[in-house]
Structure 1
Amino acid sequence: MKRKHPELYEILVKTYQQDISESFKVDFKALMGKLKERVGRNSPCPCASGKKFKKCCLRK
């Protein structure tokens, strides 16, 4: 494939070698700022991690 379609090969290499962690970062301060009502310490965390708020984003 590298010889027959060098342009396609370059695109595929860039796609598979990119750092996907950047696309999944969440701005927690902005997320917390958007909350209209107060989140209790024992409530589920609004970041959808499944943890309690006090164990997840309370200190961020």
Structure 2
Amino acid sequence: MVVVTAEFDRFATQIATHHGHPSLRKLVLPYPLEGLPEQELLQIATDAYPTLRDLIGAAS
């Protein structure tokens, strides 16, 4: 499982496939994150949390 920004989504898929993991689970966050206001970053994290939890197989 990997967390990447949209800028590196395709690259992560290519690398994972090259190393024999074509079904790599990914959480893709918006790009860029740098320079975003703290409140916006917190909202992105809050919105992404349920997906992250599901991807790692954690119980709610």
| TM bucket normalised to smaller | under 0.3
TM-score (norm 2): 0.25
Does 1 or 2 have the higher relative contact order (CA < 8 Å, sep 6+)? 2
* Rg larger for: 1
Higher helix share: 2
Higher strand share: 2
TM-score (norm 1): 0.25
